[in-house]
Structure formats: structure tokens, C-alpha cells
Amino acid sequence: MPFESRRRARDEKREAVLRTAVALFLEQGYHGTTLNHVAERLNITKPALYNYFRGKDEILYECWAIGADHVDERIDDIAATGGTGLEKLRKLIVSYAETMTTDYGKSLVRFDVRDLTEHNRKIVGLAKKKIDQAFRDYIGQGIKDGSIRPCDVKLSAFAIAGSLNWIGHWYQPGGALEAEAIAKEFAIRLTEGLAIKSIRKKADKPPIRKRKSRGVSG
Amino acid sequence: MPFESRRRARDEKREAVLRTAVALFLEQGYHGTTLNHVAERLNITKPALYNYFRGKDEILYECWAIGADHVDERIDDIAATGGTGLEKLRKLIVSYAETMTTDYGKSLVRFDVRDLTEHNRKIVGLAKKKIDQAFRDYIGQGIKDGSIRPCDVKLSAFAIAGSLNWIGHWYQPGGALEAEAIAKEFAIRLTEGLAIKSIRKKADKPPIRKRKSRGVSG
DNA sequence: ACTTTTTATTACCCGTGGGTAATATACGGA
DNA sequence: TCCGTATATTACCCACGGGTAATAAAAAGT
């Protein structure tokens, strides 16, 4: 079956280009990375890249699309799930945080939409909107079902998304903190102020007992 | 006194260039903005800019420096103040959030350090480190003095800084939310999970009392 | 009014880097 | 072995934009 194997070989190369490109874009910045750099690291020459992509901005767009798709899938998963708004929100936080520790996830927050074509910029804009909307929806649901205390939905969504997006700027594999651990920790920490039932982890160093540590929340 | 008036006139023009440049950099992106654009908006020509700046990257650096100075001053103010770690942390959040609603503040998070010279990049790096350190210090102090419950200082600082930095990406004057209001809201919201004594605002619909909200942490 | 200094303009340079045309090489199929 | 297709290379184009040299206009000093 040469059809298939050939097609697969092609796709693998395409992916290799993307992996290399996104890594370089993150290392050196999109404008600091030339197509020659990308090609060089792949041990090919620049024009060879044009067998797989229409141009530099399309490569950038594909990175973005992969990251967005990744989150999108998880959103669909969560939407299909049951549970309170708070539970859904926590799931989304975990998924999004984990995505932010990957190169393609970082694409979502480290690159500039203005480097895309008008057309692709719109697509990216919609994807971002969907993600933002998911955060707001779950917070809104949580307020309705009583799992989240009343608050400004928009502002809360911004606050949470901001923390998560920031992960894409500071996280690097091999650091002190593992991706999964970060995700779990953030899911709790970012919803502490919102949740009606407090769920302190045992893992936390228990607060010093001397102090009159009164009950949490009003 | 032509000495002074002349000097002032020059400084005013310099500032005008910076204001125009930072606005354009934010609108169109640093790489999407040419010096011709900047000059055009000021009704002068490109080479005239070189009377005030050595080059494009120096303009970028100055924007950054103004933003960083702004935060730095507030940090020094706060350091001179008394109060618990939590109080200091809240003050810092307010100051930082407000800074993030200004053009120069946005510079701190919207531009890429890699567009600076090696030298300036180091300076910026130090300034950022100082800000990050302030967040960590205050959280650490808060834990010591009992105003903040024990937690991972680094991670908490990241979470807070992330939310605040994100403001620089979504805030635009004239929106539904006023800068000061955002700052105050964030100061509360971002410390809700950390604070030992909860300070729910009366403005919020009070949380439903039915639930057995047990004491904090194990 | 004349000179000097500052500030601005016109005209130009040129490195960079995305993108392309022409061409060679490797590979699958008959 | 030959052909066709896919993939790669070499050599090149050229628009863009940061930066500069030469020069003019404006303002300050005397």
C-alpha cells in the first residue's frame, strides 16, 4: 500500500516541520526565526518547506490550530460530561493548564494574531472566543446550581484564564514543577475563592495550629 | 531662560514620540509598526526621530522602562509601609493592576524582550525579577505573620501575576470596567484563596448559608 | 543682520528574509 | 530499464524597513 505509506510519510514530515517550527518560534520568537533556521534544523533547505506549507504564516497558523484543537476537544468532552458547574470548571482548568505546558498550547498565548492572514485571524479569534465562553458558561452554571458563589462571571473568567495563560510563559519541562501537578494545583487554587464548599488538600502543610484559624469564608 | 524651556520642549517631544510609539506598538505590534508609521502620526519624517532615539529598539526599551519604573515606585512605597504581608500583597496587586491598564504598563507584558539589545534585555530582566520577588516576599511575609495561609509561594505568585498580566491583554479604556474597579476587585479575588480571614464584600450577594462550611484545611 | 546650533527634510543605502523559477535527485510503478 | 511523480536543491528576485549622509530650515545667541 504505497498510497497510504506515502501519505503517512508526508504527514510525518509535515508534523516534523511543525514541531521544529513551533519550538524555534518559542525559543527565538516568530520574527526572530527565519525559515532558513527552521530548514537548517531539519537538515533541509528553505524551499523544501514549501512542499508542505504555503508560507511562514501558515506554519504559524497550524501551530495555533493544533493547540486550539487540543483545548477544543477537551471542551467537548467536558460538555458531554455531567457534574456541577464547579466540577466542569475544574476539569477545564486542568485541561487548559496541561495544554499550556505543551509547545502547541503555548502557541495560543505567546504568538501574535496579527502575524496571521485576515482569514486565519478570524478563525483563531473564534476559537479563542469559544474557550473564553466555556469558562464563562461553567462559572455561570456553577452559580445557578449553587456550586459557585455569585460573582462577576466575566471578571472571574478573565482572572482564571490569565493565570492559566501565564503558564505558557513560565513553564518549561524539566523544571521543579510537573505539568500535571501544576494543573491540579491550579484547578484548586483558582477556584478556592469561588467555590462554596472549600476543599483544602491534605497535602498542604497544615496551617500552624496555634493560631485561631477560624472557618473559611463568610 | 532658554536653557530650561528648550530642554523641556525637547523632553516633551521625546515623550510625544514615546506615547505615539507605544500606542502604535500595541495597536499593530512592534514588528507591524514601522518608524515611518510613528513619524507619520507625529507629522514628521522618520529621520527626525533619530534626534531623540538611537533606534527603534531603544524606543521599545524606553516604553518598557517607564512601565517598570511605575511599578518599581509603588513597590518602594509599599516596602516603606507597615502592615501584614497580606495587606502589602493587596496593595501591590492594586498598583500592578492599575499599571496594566496603561499603555506603558501593557508594554511590560505585550512586547517581546528578544527585540531588545542584550544589554537592555538584562535590565528589563532584573526589573521583572524584582517585581516577581516582591510578590513572593509579601506572600512569604503573610505566611509568617499569619495573614496568609501556608501555600506554595512560587506557584501562588505565578497565579496572581498571571491574572494581572492578562489585564494588559484584554483591558481597554472605555470598556465596561473601570481601571480602579478592576484593581480593587482583583486585589480581593486573587487573595480570597490565600487569606486566612475572609473579607467578603457586602456588595456581593452573600453566599447561601445553608451549607455546612467547615473549618479550613486538614 | 550674521553666525552657530538644533532640528527637520530629501534622497539614498543595504541587509534581511520571505518567496519563486528552473533544475536535479530519489522513488514507486510497469 | 524506462517513465512519471514527488521532493529536494541551487540560484535568484525584490519588497520592506531600519538606518545614514548631505542638506535645508528654524531658532538661539550676540
**Residues A2-53 pLDDT 10s:** 566 767 889 999 999 999 999 999 999 999 999 999 999 999 999 999 999 9
Indicate whether A97 and A45 sit together in one domain.
no
Q: What is the pLDDT of residue A203?
A: 41
- A126 grid coordinates: 473564534
Q: What is the pLDDT of residue B206?
A: 39
Residue B216 with chain A: CB contacts under 8 Å:
198, 200, 207, 213-216
**Cβ contact A35 with chain C strand, < 7 A:** yes
Quick one: which of A195, A193, A200, A135 has its CA closest to A162? A135
| DSSP codes joined into one string, A26-39 | HHH-TTT--HHHHH
Indicate whether B22 and B128 sit together in one domain.
no
Residue A210 has pLDDT above 80, yes or no: no
For the stretch B98-134, pLDDT in tens is 999 999 999 999 999 999 999 999 999 999 999 999 9
CA of B47, closest CA in chain A: separation in Å? Answer: 24
Angle at CA of residue A158, ends A74 and A103, nearest 5°? 50
Is A217 contained in some domain?
no
Q: What is the pLDDT of residue A2?
A: 53
Residue A1 has pLDDT above 60, yes or no: no
The integer distance in angstroms from the CA atom of A41 to the C1' atom of C24 is 23
Indicate whether B62 and B163 sit together in one domain.
yes
Quick one: which residue's CA is nearest to D29's C1'? B2
Cα–Cα distance for residue pair A150/A124, rounded to 1 Å: 31
* Domain enclosing residue A30, as ranges: 8-53
Indicate whether B26 and B105 sit together in one domain.
no
Is A169 contained in some domain?
yes
For the stretch B134-183, pLDDT in tens is 999 999 999 999 999 999 999 999 999 999 999 999 999 999 999 999 99
In chain A, how many domains are there? Answer: 2
Chain B residues 177-196 within an 8 A CB cutoff of chain A: 177, 182, 185-186, 189-190, 192-193, 196
Indicate whether A89 and A33 sit together in one domain.
no
Please give the average per-residue pLDDT across A168-185, as a whole number.
Answer: 96
Please give the average per-residue pLDDT across A140-144, as a whole number.
Answer: 98
pLDDT band at B8 (very low <50, low <70, confident <90, very high): confident
Residue B216 has pLDDT above 90, yes or no: no
| DSSP codes joined into one string, A126-140 | HHHHHHHHHHHHHHH
**How many other C-beta atoms are found inside a 10 Å radius of the C-beta of residue A116?**
19
For the stretch A57-80, pLDDT in tens is 999 999 999 999 999 999 999 999
CATH classification at residue B43: 1.10.10.60
Q: Under a CB-based contact definition with an 8 Å cutoff, are residues A195 and A147 in contact? A: yes
* Bases of strand D lying below 7 A from some protein CB: 6-11, 16-22, 28-29
Indicate whether B74 and B62 sit together in one domain.
yes
Quick one: which of B68, B66, B99 has its CA closest to B186? B99
CB contact under 8 Å between B151 and A204, yes or no, is yes
Question: Mean pLDDT score of chain A, rounded to an integer?
Answer: 90
Question: In this structure, what is the dihedral angle of CA atoms B92, B97, B98, B103, given to the nearest 10 degrees?
Answer: 130
Cα–Cα distance for residue pair B177/B165, rounded to 1 Å: 16
Which contacts (CB < 8 Å, 24+ apart) does range B50-55 have?
B52/B10, B52/B13, B52/B14, B52/B17, B53/B14, B53/B17
Is A36 contained in some domain?
yes
